[in-house]
Amino acid sequence: MALEFVREKSNVVLIGPNGVGKSTLALNLAYQSLIHGYTALFTTAGQMLGELAALDSDSALRRRLHRYASPEVLLIDEVGYLSYSNRHADLLFELVSRRYGAASTVVTTNKPFAAWSEVFPNAACVVSLVDRLVHRADVIAIEGESYRVKEARERAEQRSRRRSAARPEKKP
Residue 64 lies in a domain: yes
Is the pLDDT higher at 144 or at 171? Answer: 144
Nearest to 6 by CA among 72, 99, 74, 98: 72
Look at residue 122 in the predicted model and tell me its pLDDT: 86
CA 4/CA 10 separation, integer angstroms: 9
Residue 54 lies in a domain: yes
Where is average pLDDT lowest: 70-74, 133-137, 150-154, 167-171? 167-171
Is the pLDDT higher at 171 or at 107? Answer: 107
Q: Which domain holds residue 106?
A: 4-166
The CATH number covering residue 14 comes to 3.40.50.300
- pLDDT over 70 (residue 11): yes
pLDDT band at 171 (very low <50, low <70, confident <90, very high): low
- pLDDT over 80 (residue 163): yes
Look at residue 36 in the predicted model and tell me its pLDDT: 98
Distance of CA 117 to the CA centre of its chain: 17
Q: What is the pTM of this model?
A: 0.87
Is the pLDDT higher at 151 or at 59? Answer: 59
Look at residue 1 in the predicted model and tell me its pLDDT: 87
Residue 171 lies in a domain: no
Is the pLDDT higher at 163 or at 9? Answer: 9
Q: How many domains in the chain?
A: 1
Look at residue 165 in the predicted model and tell me its pLDDT: 85
Provide DSSP, 17-70: -TTSSHHHHHHHHHHHHHHTT--EEEEEHHHHHHHHHH--SHHHHHHHHHHHHS
DSSP state, residue 122: T
**Whole-number mean pLDDT of the chain?**
94
Residue 172 lies in a domain: no
Does the CA dihedral 94-96-101-104 come out positive or negative? positive
Look at residue 139 in the predicted model and tell me its pLDDT: 97
The string of pLDDT tens digits covering residues 97-132 is: 999 999 999 999 999 999 999 999 988 999 999 999
